[in-house]
Structures are given as structure tokens and as C-alpha cells.
Amino acid sequence: MTLSEKSQLVQQALESHHLSLEVVELAASTRTAQDAATAVGCEIGQICKSLVFRSGDMPILFLVSGKNQLDVTKVSADLSLPLEKADADFTREKTGFAIGGIPPIAHSTPIATYIDRILLTYSEIWAAAGTPHAVFKLESHLLLTLTGGTLIDVI
């Protein structure tokens, strides 16, 4: 089966890191963390949520365990950055993807990335792969290599 255009971008980005990770497109929705956990048969904490915020015109990506809520006030203070949730247009413009399918990689512009430390307590996690029906499984420690992100406490 041929992947959709957006999922192909994610697959190509994975391959550019010389990793044998595979994007899969599912019939079931993976739009929310709970949807994704149900679709792939894992714990909700193993889902890597991609949350886009903005600080002025700068996009910031938070990769958060599906079981956690990002504490925006805490993280904003910890990073000394004013943060506001990015709207759908800003998110699509800066990442190249629509909310509900934003992958941790393959964005249309470089994005500062922060990773929920809790994600690395799982050996394997699942991340969005470009559409609300596409995901890929990876060893959690690979998020650091793939994104160049910084580990933080989000709660």
C-alpha cells in the first residue's frame, strides 16, 4: 500500500536517519492520544503527543506523553519563554502538517523541540506520522537523535 503524501515525507525523514522504522496508516483514527493508543494497542503513556506552541513568531514543539498534560505556566517559566498555543493556521504554516497528525520530525521549518522526560521511561513509543491515521513505532531514546530535542519536565 502506498503511503499518503504527508506520511511519505515522514517515512523519508526516518530513512534519512538510516533507521528501519516504518510508517503505518490505519483505518482507525489516531488523532487523539486515546484514539492512537486504542488503534495500536498500547498504553496511553506510550503515545507521543506533538503539541505546537508559539513564542512570538517562533514555533516550539513539545513532545509529550499521552498520559500527561503540558503545564504551560510551569514550562514557560522554566524555559523563560512566553508561550501560547498555536492555532491551526500557524501550526500548518510552520510544520507543514495539520493538527492531529503532526510528527516529531519532517517539519517545513526548523522547530525548537522539547521532550517530556516521561516518554523515555517507556522502551517503545508511538508518534504521529503526518495524518490523523498514520503512526510509527520507535524506541523512545531515538526521539533525542531524530529531533535534537531537549528533555524537560512538563508537569
* pLDDT per residue as tens digits for the range 86-130: 999 999 999 999 999 999 999 999 999 999 999 999 999 999 999
Given this model, what pLDDT does residue 150 score?
Answer: 98
Total domains in the fold of the chain: 1
At 1, the pLDDT band (50, 70, 90 cuts) reads: low
Which residue segment(s) compose the domain that 65 sits in?
5-152
| CATH number of residue 144's parent domain | 3.90.960.10
Write down the mean pLDDT value for the chain.
96
Per-residue pLDDT band for 44 (boundaries 50, 70, 90) equals very high
Residues with Cβ within 8 Å of residue 47, at least 6 apart in sequence: 33, 36, 37, 65, 66, 125, 126, 127
| Mean predicted confidence (pLDDT) in 70-80 | 97
Q: To the nearest 10°, the Cα dihedral for 39, 45, 47, 50?
A: 140
Give which of 126, 123, 122, 124 is closest to 136, Cα–Cα.
Answer: 126
Does the pLDDT at position 14 exceed 90? yes
